[in-house]
Amino acid sequence: MAAEAVQTSPPLGARGSLPRDRDITHPTNARRIRLLIELGLFFLVAPMLIREAIFTWRIPLPVVLQPLLLGFIAYMLWDPTFKLRRELSHRYPLPTLVGILGTFAFIGGAVALWVAIELPHRFLALPRGNWPVWLAIMILYPLLSVIPQELIYRTFFYHRYGPLFGSSRWLAILTNGLLFGFAHVIFGSFVSIVLTAFLGFLLAWRYDETRALWAVWLEHSLYGCLIFTVGLGHYFFTGVARMG
């Protein structure tokens, strides 16, 4: 009975995913191989190429990323089995908000305390030393960076590749978190990869629980703004603008 229940469980997907044909929700081995190759190109090869463009060709990160981000969004708008409006309009309940804020208070407080003790020269360096730049980051980062990231790494990932995992939600969460961490290889820092991998696990779990884009957007924004505020933002800066 347990095995039967697993087999009949609905495949993973995004909130905006519409009912799809069985050959998509239960892919054949040949389709699985194609999807795995595609996933590897998008989430493993592409970050390495972006890193090469940034550090070798000295192309600013926004110039490299924007065409890619627009491509992902265009695909979701074009895909007849996905409704972006459905993804964007879904709300999450108050207990989810309480959970997000409670988790952030605990983890964020621990991170801030650690930086204050171990790296006092960096603690609050940006808001104290250049508050206009800090304020601009607090406003623009959630809008220009977090929304595209979550559309790609949560919405697109679960819609396109969810069927690869069947009902194995924890395998999907683990894979998503690792790929999200690896994406930050573009910053050339092992620390940024590790930190964002842990955040990726949390965000993937949250999306798996809620299928709410705005829930993971809020959570991602909180931790990202924290990093830049407490003094760890240098791990997420390419410095291309200062090269040459």
- Report the pLDDT value the prediction gives residue 242, as an integer from 0 to 100: 37
| More confident call, 64 vs 48 | 48
Domain membership flag for residue 148: yes
Tens of pLDDT along 62-117?
A: 788 878 888 888 998 999 999 999 999 999 999 999 999 999 999 999 999 999 99
Domain membership flag for residue 2: no
- Report the pLDDT value the prediction gives residue 10, as an integer from 0 to 100: 65
Domain membership flag for residue 152: yes
Residue-number span of the structural domain to which 173 is assigned:
22-242
The runs of H, that is alpha helices, within the chain are 2-8, 22-25, 29-40, 46-55, 61-78, 84-89, 94-118, 125-129, 131-140, 147-150, 157-161, 169-183, 190-210, 213-230
Domain membership flag for residue 227: yes
Residues 6+ away with beta carbon under 8 Å from 102: none
Tens of pLDDT along 111-159?
A: 999 999 999 999 999 999 999 999 999 999 999 899 999 999 999 999 9
- Report the pLDDT value the prediction gives residue 119, as an integer from 0 to 100: 96
Residues 6+ away with beta carbon under 8 Å from 178: 197, 200
Residues 6+ away with beta carbon under 8 Å from 9: 166, 167
Residue 181 has which token pair? 């961490």
Domain membership flag for residue 73: yes
Domain membership flag for residue 79: yes
Alpha-carbon span 104 to 101, nearest angstrom = 5
- 211, 235 Cβ separation under 8 angstroms: no
Nearest-Å Rg of the Cα atoms of the chain is 19
- Report the pLDDT value the prediction gives residue 88, as an integer from 0 to 100: 96
- Report the pLDDT value the prediction gives residue 182, as an integer from 0 to 100: 97
Tens of pLDDT along 149-188?
A: 999 999 999 999 999 999 899 999 999 999 999 999 999 8
Domain membership flag for residue 7: no
Domain membership flag for residue 3: no
Question: What's the domain count of the chain?
Answer: 1
**49 pLDDT higher than 70:** yes
Q: What percent of the chain has pLDDT over 70?
A: 93
Tens of pLDDT along 5-42?
A: 344 456 799 999 999 999 999 999 999 999 999 999 99
**243 pLDDT higher than 80:** no
